[in-house]
């Protein structure tokens, strides 16, 4: 009688064929650092994706408070269900020895902030000087954002540091740790995001919806053009007071087209009802 041997890797693969154990990957080099863990470039060693390069975020679960773990679960859930060419995709997540491994699509050129930093070091210029390049980045970012908004999700942390690019020039939105799922007719009240990019209504806990992302997108436009967000040099509490008390920031009058300045001004309306939708911006 022939002994039936089961596939030793069968229980270590998810239904998409990605390994769910540490042994299924070989870590290569560190490509990112955070407060709770690191991001590695790695190679998949098992299953149908063997040989593929991925990014793996390894997080120490013991360092997370309950609220932080909730944010992490939210981020993982949004990445896992999002299937769009402009949104970073999560392949699989699993726990090994109290560490959470999140296996993701590799985005090998880094964030726009990294690219601008390299350019500044090489040429001494701040920001992206070519409007066509900025327009291309914004268009692709907006497509990803439209996908989220159409699925009733708010990103809530749009900024150059969360816009990634790969070596093919593809643009992807990342970092969904403070994202939220909208319910029809109900606004969000949580104060979250990065102060320099945060919409006024978020700071005031007035209730906010997807239009808060439009404000953040307007600030990101200025960041891409100038190399840094308005008010970046001030401490967070002062930034919040200044955003609430002062007129919205604008692009400098010289060096940028009227169309670009008009786009920024349309996004940076203090009254969220006056901001265009993501569909209107794409037009």
Convert the pLDDT of each residue in 135-151 to its tens digit. Answer: 999 999 999 999 988 88
Cβ(108)–Cβ(54) below 8 Å:
no
Matching CATH number, 12-105, of 3.30.200.20, 3.40.50.800, 1.10.540.10, 3.30.565.10: 3.30.200.20
Q: Which residue has the higher pLDDT, 176 or 181?
A: 176
CA R_g for the chain: 21
**How remote is the C-alpha of 1 from its chain's centroid?**
56
Cβ(68)–Cβ(43) below 8 Å:
no
pLDDT of 45 strictly over 80: yes
Query: pLDDT > 90: what percent of the chain?
Result: 49
pLDDT at site 57: 86
Q: Which of 66, 157, 175, 258 is catalytic?
A: 157
pTM of the predicted protein model: 0.81
**Tokens of residue 45, six digits:** 């060693």
Task: Spell out the CATH class of 110-282.
Answer: mainly alpha
28 given a catalytic annotation: no
pLDDT at site 1: 40
**Tokens of residue 77, six digits:** 């859930």
Cβ(91)–Cβ(56) below 8 Å:
no
**Tokens of residue 105, six digits:** 């699509």
Cα dist. 69→60, 64, 89, 172 in Å? 11, 6, 20, 24
Query: pLDDT > 70: what percent of the chain?
Result: 81
pLDDT tens-digit map of 115-128:
999 989 998 889 99
Residue spans per domain, the chain: 12-105, 110-282
């Amino acid at each position: 009688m022939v002994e039936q041997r089961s596939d030793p890797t069968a229980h270590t693969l998810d239904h998409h064929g990605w390994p769910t154990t540490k042994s299924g990957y070989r870590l290569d080099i560190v490509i990112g650092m955070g407060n709770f863990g690191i991001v590695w470039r790695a190679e998949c060693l098992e299953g149908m994706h063997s040989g593929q390069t991925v990014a793996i975020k390894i997080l120490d679960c013991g360092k997370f408070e309950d609220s932080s773990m909730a944010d992490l679960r939210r981020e993982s859930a949004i990445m896992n269900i999002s299937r769009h060419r402009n949104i970073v995709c999560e392949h699989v997540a699993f726990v090994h020895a109290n560490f959470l491994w999140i296996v993701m699509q590799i985005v090998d050129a880094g964030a726009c902030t990294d690219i601008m930093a390299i350019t500044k070091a090489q040429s001494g210029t701040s920001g992206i000087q070519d409007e066509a390049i900025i327009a291309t980045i914004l268009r692709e970012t907006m497509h990803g954002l439209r996908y989220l908004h159409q699925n009733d999700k708010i990103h809530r942390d749009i900024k150059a540091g969360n816009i990634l690019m790969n070596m093919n020039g593809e643009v992807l939105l990342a970092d969904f740790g403070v994202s939220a799922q909208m319910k029809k007719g109900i606004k969000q009240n949580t104060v979250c995001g990065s102060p320099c990019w945060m919409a006024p209504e978020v700071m005031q806990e007035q209730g906010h919806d997807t239009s808060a992302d439009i404000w953040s997108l307007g600030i990101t436009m200025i960041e891409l053009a100038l190399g840094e967000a308005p008010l970046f040099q001030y401490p967070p509490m002062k930034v919040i007071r200044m955003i609430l008390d002062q007129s919205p920031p604008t692009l400098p009058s010289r060096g940028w087209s009227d169309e670009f300045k008009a786009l920024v001004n349309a996004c940076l309306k203090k009254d969220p009802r006056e901001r265009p939708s993501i569909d209107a911006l794409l037009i």
